[in-house]
Amino acid sequence: MNGIVPRQNFDTILWSMVTVIQTLIGDDWYLVMINCMMATGWYSCFYFVFLIIFGYIILTNLFMAILIGNFEESSLIMRDTKFIIGLQKQTEAQTTANNRVDTERAPILPRANDRSPKTISVEKFRTMDGSMGGTTVKK
């Protein structure tokens, strides 16, 4: 082209990479293809068609892999957070239940009946099913 080398060329590795990236992102790729066709011949259009089709497929797959990976990571974080919160609630519930059971089933010591030294009266006690009862035990 009149002795002037266009900026989009394949003369060096650096400019080749810039030209391929420019082609893949779609920035005036058809002008790059026309310049290549004028410099090398009409068969260079096959290279650009191949580059566009497979480049878009690879870039799309790469983008989707990154996107799905981020969703999966956030999903794992949310699942782990829910699991940890569930464990904390379960531990709190067990601690509360254990404290309640300890206070409900605490033994009530029998009181001696003042009327007779041989008779011990248990006025109230808790049975295993939680009901209240009373009895008199004679020695």
C-alpha distances out from residue 136 to 118, 124, 139, Å: 11, 10, 10
- 102 Cβ partners below 8 Å, 6+ apart? none
For the chain, give the longest Cα–Cα distance: 129
3-class DSSP state of 136? strand
Query: Do 108 and 114 form a contact (C-beta atoms < 8 A)?
Result: no
Question: How does DSSP classify residue 114?
Answer: S
For the whole prediction, is pTM greater than 0.75?
no
- Domains in the chain: boundaries: 13-104, 107-139
User: Which H helix or E strand runs over 111?
Assistant: strand 111-112
Q: What is the pLDDT along the chain (139 residues), one digit of tens a residue?
A: 567 777 788 888 998 999 998 888 888 888 888 888 888 888 888 998 899 889 888 888 888 888 888 888 877 788 878 888 888 888 887 777 666 655 555 555 555 554 544 444 454 445 555 555 555 444 4
| Side chain identity at residue 102, one-letter code | D
What are the tokens at 116? Answer: 């007779």
Burial degree of 113 (CB within 10 A; 0-12, 13-18, 19+): middle
